[in-house]
Amino acid sequence: MSAPTTLVVGGGGFLGTAVRTTLAQRGHDVVVPSVPWSEPEAAGAVLRAALHEVQSAPGRWNLVWCAGTGVVATDESAFVAESVVLDGAFGDADAPVTPGTAFFASSAGAVFAGSTAPPFDESTEPNPLAPYGRSRLLAEERFAAWATATGTRLLVGRIANLYGPGANLRKRQGLVSQLALAHLEGRPSSIYVPFETTRDYLYIDDAAAMVADGLDAVAAAAPGSTTTKIFASQVGHTITEVVDAVTAALGEPLDVRAGHDPSSTFHGTDLRFRSTVLTGIDDRTLVPFDEGVRRTVDAVRTNHHTATGAP
């Protein structure tokens, strides 16, 4: 069987970079469009043209959407531009000659932030607390409508907290990386939620492999169908445990302080997950948490030393 052509949107980001590397290693012809994200209408037009080109190529095609706007604390107005991009990319979509397969990266933590009785699975009713979570649900619906209209097989991946080398340190997210960076820069880390707050941490390379397997898993689904799956390690770690793991990786105590931020009300206190959908994707040996933290800390240290010229 010939290798599929796969369009990776957001291929320069944290998840997108890992996914495109994994897919290329598996023989995909990976295409990463250059998108003018600061110009939403132009971005939508570029993506529409790129998608049309991929759909017109002979053989199988995939769309993997790893691009996203904002974080938990982002104001609702920031998501208006994303809607413009999606409308431009998918508006008046024509059905391709050959139905393809698509993956959309959503956020488990955002859509289940206010849900009760963890661990949460695919049957749990979403209950977002922040504009970010509500925007993820709207985007999921937009992708599902496009999939139905075009006969595309869609996999929506509600992904737990990603961590690992390569995270964007300029974003206010990624506790493991941010703790390490603050220590290396000689400043304290402020924690805005209780230290018993629990999250599911999924190592970036494991997530990318699961996305690739997910594309294969839904390739034989009914055209126009949407499958929603939680992508998670299915193990919870408290903030205290994360701090301890980063401390062990650095070999030095951290200066961690309790702080306050208005966005703290947007965070759920216990975001443990399990998956009951496409469970074969979860049947793998994941990178152990302590090992993943060590790799992440080593990468942050290397980048910091390179940027500052420190020994």
pTM of the model: 0.94
pLDDT of 214 above 80: yes
Q: Letter for the amino acid at 280?
A: G
- When comparing pLDDT for 282 and 80, which is higher? 282
pLDDT of 233 above 90: yes
Comparing CA positions, the residue from 281, 283, 164, 182 lying closest to residue 230 is: 281
- The pLDDT value recorded for residue 171 is 78
pLDDT of 204 above 90: yes
Measured distance CA(63)–CA(52) in Å, rounded: 11
Among 65-79, 100-114, 239-253, 274-288, the range scoring the smallest mean pLDDT is 65-79
Helix (H) or strand (E) holding 189: strand 189-191
User: 40 vs 63, 196, 213, 224, 256, CA distance in Å?
Assistant: 19, 40, 31, 27, 39
- The pLDDT value recorded for residue 305 is 84
Phi-psi region of 142 (alpha: psi -120 to 50; beta: other; left: phi over 0): alpha
Task: Tell me 61's DSSP state.
Answer: E
- When comparing pLDDT for 207 and 80, which is higher? 207
Average pLDDT, the chain: 91
Comparing CA positions, the residue from 196, 213, 221, 163 lying closest to residue 22 is: 213
- 3-state secondary structure at position 53: helix
Dump pLDDT digits (tens) for 290-305: 999 999 999 999 998 8
User: 90 vs 85, 147, 244, CA distance in Å?
Assistant: 9, 10, 45
Task: Tell me 159's DSSP state.
Answer: E
Residue 306: pLDDT band by 50, 70, 90 thresholds?
Answer: confident
Dump pLDDT digits (tens) for 52-72: 999 888 889 999 999 976 655
3-state helix, strand, coil in the chain (%, to 5): 45, 20, 40
By the 10 Å C-beta count (0-12 exposed, 13-18 middle, 19+ buried), 260 is classed as exposed
pLDDT of 223 above 90: yes
- The pLDDT value recorded for residue 94 is 64
Is 153:219 a contact under the CB 8 Å cutoff? yes
Among 9-23, 52-66, 102-116, the range scoring the smallest mean pLDDT is 52-66
Stretch 121-134: mean pLDDT:
94
pLDDT of 261 above 60: yes
Residue 263: pLDDT band by 50, 70, 90 thresholds?
Answer: low
Strand order in the sheet with 29-31: 29-31, 5-9, 61-65, 101-107, 153-159, 226-231
pLDDT of 97 above 80: no
Residue 238: pLDDT band by 50, 70, 90 thresholds?
Answer: very high
- The pLDDT value recorded for residue 76 is 63
